[in-house]
Structure 1
Amino acid sequence: MLNFTLTLNREFLEADKDHQKLFAMLKVRPTKEAAETSPPVNYVCLIDTSGSMYEVVGGNVQETGRTFNVDGCDYREVSGGVTKMDLVIESLQKLIQSQQFKAEDRLAIIRFDDEASTLMELAPVGDRQRMEDAIQQLRLYSGGTRLGLGMRHVLDLLSSQSMAVNRVLLFTDGQTFDEDLCRDFVKDFSGNNISISALGVGEYEENLLVYLSDNTAGKLRHVVAESASGTQVAIADLPKEILGDFRDAQREVVTNMALSVATVQGVKLTRLAKVYPTVVENPMVQEPYLIGNIMAGDETVFILEFDVASRSASRVRIAQLGFTYDVPGKKQRKEVAPQNIVAQFVNGTVTPQMDAEVMAYVQQLNVAGLVKQSMDVVDSDPIRAEKLLETATRMTRKWGNDSLTESLSQAQDELRKTRKLSPEFRKTVKIGSKGKTVRINDNLGEELSQDAIRQLTGT
């Protein structure tokens, strides 16, 4: 049901040399038989209903001259405006009216603020009036932000759902009061193969959303109230964004994929990440490593990074990979024969010739690392932060990731002019670096030099 290819970044390692890095590129693609299946989708909309969701973000706005206070913040009252909640409700209405649902697909709606509740249990979309009523109920709530309470309701709905695509669409616009609870629930989400597609707008905590996404093999988008640029998503485009996310869930014909890695003495797996079509760092907490779902119609690419200890000249197996996965459209659990990773150690000094495709994916993966380093030092050393962003921008421009290049360039410009980075740009580049990557093919163009590759990747 799956086709695998395994490629190393270099053919030879130097004998009797310690701590060498070896990258393995794993490509996975469903077979035609798997791609033609139709897995059921359980799609849960987890919606922030805190008071700030009623902030006006568009429309023909006219001020009334009155003010009011919500959650400790003062707002000017206006008429004729469109709020965040208006746009979320419009998005959900367009989703249920889209004719994209199959008979076996089910939708649920959960809201959270100071409290949380399930407005609609998992149900087929055929009963549109019931769903419309549940969507309209979102307007009845207000308060603070406790995402963890909403996550608990999600687990109640989905923890018993197997042989299906379990997807949560999270929309939030504020920092949650129960971040520790959210992080505690992540292990249960991952163990039950529940992925989170998170859309954040406003004052949300981006590091938390990155954590939720990485630990559930999910997706991230930074939403802005005004017109979008680079990797940003305009809040006015929410209907299109949510519909696209649901369509992606329908394409996930292979689910619950788990990877086991057995290494020989002196070899350690130090990093595991999906690098295409989006960047997801696997936390590598416990083996087998849960690496998410695989979509039909494209390949999914993973990078495994190994630290290899000193070894005499020889050709040896240094690791073995094992896979299990579900094909929910056939209600089957499958296993793949073990895949060997074999390395050749040779005497003398080796100037490794890098596999261009592998290193291109490693470079795309490392953009997120460069962005993180930049954000860690941006307040204390803005000049170094700018240089790190410049390196990341050069890499994204090289591989044709135009949207991320634009966001990184804008952040650089702001740093260059003000020696500071606004919260908006911090979110944009952090979330954007975890977003869509570029598929690498045989037409790689001019490569970075071997020295540059080794410097960027640590080889």
Structure 2
Amino acid sequence: MLNVTITPHREFLPADTVEQKLFLMMKMRPTKQVASSRPSTAFVLLIDTSGSMDEVVIGNPQATGRTYYDDGKEWMEVTGAKSKGEIVIESLLALVHSGKLSQRDKIAIIRFNEQAMPVIGLTSATEISQLEGAIAQLRHCSGGTRIGNGLRQALSTLSDQQMTSCRTLLFTDGQTIDEDICRELAREFATKNIPITALGVGDFNEDLLNDLSDITGGRSFHVVTQNTSEVAVSITDLPNKIIEEFTLAQQDVVTNLALAVKTVKGVQLTRVLRAYPSQAEFPLNQDPNPIGNASANDETIFILEFTMESRPASRIRIAQLGLTYDVPGQNKRGELPIQNVVVQFVAGQNFAAQVDQEVMGYVQQCNIAQLVSAAARASEVGNSEQAEKFLETARQMTQRVGNEAMTQSISTAQDELRKTRKISPDTRKTIKMGAKGKTIKMSTSIDDEILEEQIRQASGT
């Protein structure tokens, strides 16, 4: 049901070397039969309706001369422009009228400010009039922002869904005071296999949204009012982005991937990352580790990073891997036979110097996000010289792997840094979120019909 190959970044590792790394690529692709078994979906749209969502972001506002009171303040009515809230409403209406949803798709809408208020429970996407009425209830915006209350309500809505591709789409434009609660809740989302797609516009904490998407195996995006980067999402393109996220949920034909890893003494699993089609770094606080879903008609690629103590020249098994998963379209569960990770340690450096370029291409792309975050931290404390070094290394990596859009975004940040000795908040958000959301596919793909014996041979078992 699921084709898997396992490839180390090196066939041979140097013996008698302290604290060295092994990067293991797990490449997954559903079989053609599984790829054609479309799952049902359950999608929660979690919408920030705090007062700041009434901010006008598009058009040329013209005063009507009328005023009104809302949220304890006096506001002047304008025409000829659109607020963030109005654009979100248009985007959700575009989704329900897109023609891409069927009776197998369900939508729930939750609005939140300081409190979370369900607008409509899980409803068939074909009940368009009901959904239209629910979307209209998002027009009134007021109050502050507590994302945790909204997440808790979304988790309650989706937690009992079985053999269904679930997802929560969070749209927010503000800071929240309960970040610790949000991260705790995200771990529960991960356990229930509910990825969070986080879209932020305006004054939000990109580190929080990146953490929510990382922990749950989702994605995160910087939504901008004036698009100057291909790795950001223009607010005028928000309808297409929301439709795209729903389409991705429909393509998650393999769900609830759970990875069990048992290492020998002196070997530690230090990171588990999804490298393609988008990036996420999963926390290592569960056994087995939930690592999200696998999409139809494309590969899903993970990188496992091991840290090893010094070893003499020998051929040894350093770890065993186990994998279980669901195929919701066929109402089945599957598993990959236990895979042995065997490493050949050799004396000298000649053999050990050879690396698998495909594996290292994905490792490098995952490291770009770390470099960009390090540059942002250095800039914030006034160390512009160190920030420039991090950015230049990241730019060279993006150039090497052919990610032109990310190269351009990093170059923009470098220009700002040279002129002002700082990276602006908007540029910081774009490069930090863009580095995780844009992955270039490296060469070599798996045969759809690879046999189990070939899998074992490829993994060295």
Return the TM-score normalized by structure 2. 0.92
Q: Which residue of 1 aligns with 2:253?
A: 253
Which digits, 9 at most, give the CA deviation of each residue in 1:28-67, with x for residues without a partner? 1111111010100001100000011111111242245788
User: Residue in 1 aligned with 2:428?
Assistant: 426
* Corresponding letter in the other structure for 1:109: I
Alpha-carbon shift at residue 419 of structure 1 (Å): 0.2
Match of 1:266 in 2: 266
TM-fit CA distance, 1:76: 6.5
Would the aligned equivalents of 1:175 and 1:203 in 2 still touch at CA under 8 Å? yes
Equivalences for residues 95-106 of structure 1 within 5 A = 95-106=95-106
Tell me by how many angstroms 1:420 deviates: 0.9
State the distance in 2 between where 1:349 and 1:56 align.
Answer: 61
Tell me the SS of whatever aligns to 1:101: coil
Cα pair 2:54 2:141 within 8 Å, conserved: no
Q: Is the 8 A contact 1:193 1:216 kept in 2?
A: yes
15-24 vs 168-177, which moves further:
15-24
Aligned to 2:173: 173
SS at match of 2:254: strand
Q: Quick check: 1:360 aligned with 2:366?
A: no
Q: What residue number does 1:208 align with?
A: 208
Q: Is the 8 A contact 1:57 1:226 kept in 2?
A: no
Letter in 2 for 1:399: V
Tell me the residue number matched to 1:451: none
Amino acid at match of 1:412: Q
Deviates more, 1:430-439 or 1:343-352: 343-352
CA distance in structure 2 between the aligned counterparts of 1:304 and 1:70, rounded to whole angstroms: 52
Is the CA contact (8 Å cut-off) linking 1:11 and 1:352 kept in structure 2?
A: no
Deviations 1:200-259 (Å, cap 9, x if unpaired)? 000011111011010000001100112342311110111111111111110000001000
Q: Could you say if the C-alpha distance between residues 73 and 395 of structure 1 is closer, same or farther in structure 2, counting changes exceeding 3 Å?
A: farther
Any idea what the Cα deviations from partners look like across 1:350-378, whole Å, max 9, x if unmatched? 55111111111111111011111111211
Question: Partner of 1:374 in structure 2?
Answer: 375
| Within-5 A mapping of 1:1-400 | 1-63=1-63, 78-350=78-350, 351-378=352-379, 379-400=381-402
Alpha-carbon separation, structure 2, partners of 1:383 and 1:74: 46
Aligned to 2:441: 439
- Equivalent residues of 2:382, 2:422 under 8 A apart: no
Distance in 2 (CA, whole Å) between partners of 1:153 and 1:47 is 12
- For the Cα contact (< 8 Å) 2:196–2:213, is it kept in 1? yes
Q: Secondary structure at the match of 1:223?
A: strand
- 1:401 maps to a residue whose letter is N
2:457 aligns with: none
Question: In the TM superposition, what is the alpha-carbon distance from 1:399 to its structure 2 partner?
Answer: 1.6
CA contact (8 A) 2:53 2:141 kept: no
2:415 to 410, 413, 416: 413
Q: Distance in 1 between matches of 2:399 and 2:39?
A: 37
Provide closer, same or farther for how the CA distance between residues 141 and 70 of structure 1 changes in structure 2, counting only shifts above 3 A.
closer
Q: 2:226 & 2:22 partners in 1: Cα distance? A: 44
Q: Give unpaired runs (5+ residues) of structure 1.
A: 444-459
Is the alpha carbon distance of 1:139 and 1:307 closer, same or farther for their aligned partners in structure 2, counting shifts above 3 Å? same
State the distance in 2 between where 1:226 and 1:246 align. Answer: 24
- Contact persistence 1:145–1:175 (CA under 8 A): yes
Distance 1:91 1:234 in 2: 12
Aligned-pair distance for 1:69?
8.7
Deviation of the 1:78 alpha carbon: 3.1
Structure 1 stretch displaced more, 7-16 or 266-275: 7-16
% identical equivalent positions? 52
**CA–CA separation in structure 1 for the residues paired with 2:197 and 2:313:** 47
Instruction: Report the aligned-residue RMSD.
Output: 1.9
What SS does structure 2 have at the residue aligned with 1:81?
strand
Rounded to whole Å, the distance in 2 between the matches of 1:66 and 1:101 is 41
Q: State the secondary structure of the residue aligned to 1:293.
A: coil
The TM-score with structure 1 as length reference comes to 0.93
1:262 aligns to what SS in structure 2?
A: strand
Cα distance between partner residues in 1 of 2:186 and 2:404: 32
Inter-partner Cα distance in structure 2 for 1:349 and 1:439: 30
| Equivalent residue letter for 1:424 | D
Task: Indicate conservation of the 8 Å contact 1:374/1:385, yes or no.
Answer: yes
- How many residues align? The count is 443
Q: Is the 8 A contact 2:263 2:318 kept in 1?
A: yes
Shift of 1:181: 2.0
1:442, CA displacement in angstroms?
Answer: 5.2
* Partners of 2:217 and 2:291 within 8 A in 1: yes
Deviation (angstroms), 1:389: 0.6
How far, CA to CA, are the matches of 1:308 and 1:319 in structure 2?
Answer: 11
2:263 aligned partner, one-letter code: T
Partners of 1:418 and 1:169 in 2: how far apart?
Answer: 35
Against the structure 1 CA distance between its residues 387 and 64, is the aligned structure 2 distance closer, same or farther, given a 3 Å change threshold?
farther
Contact 2:372 2:432 in 1 (8 A): yes
Alignment partner, residue 450 of structure 2:
none
SS in 1 for 2:100: coil
